[in-house]
Amino acid sequence: MASNTGDLNAFQKDQSVRTVDTSRKMRVGIIGTGWIAEAHLNAYMAQPDVEIVAGCDLVPGKAKSFFEKFGLKGVKTDYANDEEMLADKSLKLDCVSVCTYNRQHAPCAIHALNAGINVLLEKPMCVTTEEAIEIIKAEKKSGKVLSIGFQPRFDENMKEIKKIVQSGQLGKVYYIQTGGGRRRGIPTPFGTTFIEDETAGLGALGDIGCYSLDMVLNAIGYPKPLTVTGVKSGVFGTDPNCVCYYGHSEYASKFGVDDWAAAFIRLEGGIVLDFRIAWAMNMDTPGDTIILGTKGGLRIPSTECWNGTVGGPMTIYHEVAGVQVETKIPVLQTKEPLFNQKIRTFLDASKNGTPAPVPSSQILYNQAILDGIAKSNELGREVEINVPSFDEI
């Protein structure tokens, strides 16, 4: 195990160097050419075996100017939506990135899988559990790769959390507290697609909540969620004087999602998950992530986003020969940009027909928790999470 006197280079040696077979180029399309599509495109352009052949957006002309901004010529963009692009067989697409707002994740992913194309779907997987099940049905029928866009998975600190848990250092995990967020940070950098119900469907829950859930659920092997008591609200988002809006007070009337949520979730295996997430609150953080086990406890200092970062060195609280001690885990550096790893691992899986780097079989449970919180909030009580496993779909 690492100690606070550990050598960072020793950790970095683990990060593998990839070789890419350039004899077969992957033909790639982008669905939705907004903010996050830029990160996808940059990462695709960094790969030696990719040809960007097409892109589309609902907003006329947006896809064209998007590719022009990157100096890409010859990319076909004259499509009104994803279905038109996917119907163009001359493109011979191998892969698409679905970079649409949340409410358009399920339809676009299903259309692409039905067209026999490998899909990298941005997070959150979608908005409801029912949509996630429909996506998985399409995935299974297609036999294609579907990977969900959780790039924090490739961060060395996130990997270390999983290694610590899986090493048995903590013993049997029985309680987890996770979440995070911002004092003021409702995202409206390019308009209101993140905060309107008809585009986003989920607010802080789908934007950053899914990351903190993935961090801990992935570490413990994604047990099935059983029940949830959840609450959510939008006090700051609906306030026209909210400082997050930078002079756009009209955004408040469009706000239709959550800027705060909290939940108590029971997981298979007798594990309890205590969770809160905020885009805005009168506090700096709702607390660090803690994972309690029978032999040790892990503290992961909070961040405002969990998007591939930890808020400082982690600490393991344990006993050595009857003495209570703390072991510090230094913050680890990740060499290759997370988006490049997300795109590269997706391309490799698509090329070789190997399992998706971030499989829907796991993220289905992440989605079921987000959806369960919404349902519990609506009913004002604890609800059962009746989600089938991937194999049962």
Residues that bind ligand NAD (CB under 6 A): 31-37, 56-59, 62, 81-82, 99-102, 104, 108, 122-123, 149, 151, 190, 193, 207, 307
Is the Cβ of residue 94 or residue 207 nearer to ligand NAD in the bound state? 207
The closest of 358, 1, 3, 354 to 215, measured between CA atoms, is 358
Cβ atoms of residues 66 and 1 within 8 Å: no
* DSSP reduced 3-state for 39: helix
Is the Cβ of residue 123 or residue 318 nearer to ligand NAD in the bound state? 123
Sign of CA dihedral 146, 150, 153, 154: positive
For residue 251, give the H/E element and its range: helix 251-254
Encoding tokens for residue 299? 């503290």
Is the Cβ of residue 202 or residue 291 nearer to ligand NAD in the bound state? 202
Minimum distance between the CB of residue 179 and ligand NAD, rounded to whole angstroms? 17
Is the Cβ of residue 84 or residue 378 nearer to ligand NAD in the bound state? 84
DSSP character at residue 76: B
Cβ atoms of residues 376 and 383 within 8 Å: yes
Query: In 10 A of CB 276, how many CB atoms?
Result: 22
Minimum distance between the CB of residue 275 and ligand NAD, rounded to whole angstroms? 18
Cβ atoms of residues 277 and 289 within 8 Å: no
**CA 270, CA 274: separation in Å to the nearest integer?**
13
Minimum distance between the CB of residue 92 and ligand NAD, rounded to whole angstroms? 20
In the 3-class helix/strand/coil scheme, how is 88-143 assigned residue by residue?
CHHHCCCEEEECCCHHHHHHHHHHHHHCCCEEEECCCCCCCHHHHHHHHHHHHHHC
Minimum distance between the CB of residue 110 and ligand NAD, rounded to whole angstroms? 11
Encoding tokens for residue 113? 């899988």
Encoding tokens for residue 22? 């350039």
Minimum distance between the CB of residue 242 and ligand NAD, rounded to whole angstroms? 19
Pairing of strands 118-121, 95-98: parallel
Is the Cβ of residue 128 or residue 315 nearer to ligand NAD in the bound state? 128
Pairing of strands 260-267, 225-233: antiparallel
DSSP character at residue 185: -
**CA 308, CA 323: separation in Å to the nearest integer?**
33
Minimum distance between the CB of residue 41 and ligand NAD, rounded to whole angstroms? 11
Is the Cβ of residue 200 or residue 300 nearer to ligand NAD in the bound state? 200
Is the Cβ of residue 190 or residue 323 nearer to ligand NAD in the bound state? 190
Encoding tokens for residue 370? 């987000």
Encoding tokens for residue 371? 């959806």
Is the Cβ of residue 76 or residue 318 nearer to ligand NAD in the bound state? 76
**CA 201, CA 103: separation in Å to the nearest integer?**
6
Minimum distance between the CB of residue 175 and ligand NAD, rounded to whole angstroms? 28
Query: What type of residue is 89?
Result: K
Is the Cβ of residue 11 or residue 101 nearer to ligand NAD in the bound state? 101
Minimum distance between the CB of residue 246 and ligand NAD, rounded to whole angstroms? 17
Is the Cβ of residue 76 or residue 266 nearer to ligand NAD in the bound state? 76
Minimum distance between the CB of residue 345 and ligand NAD, rounded to whole angstroms? 14
Minimum distance between the CB of residue 28 and ligand NAD, rounded to whole angstroms? 15
The residue at minimum Cβ distance from ligand NAD is: 34
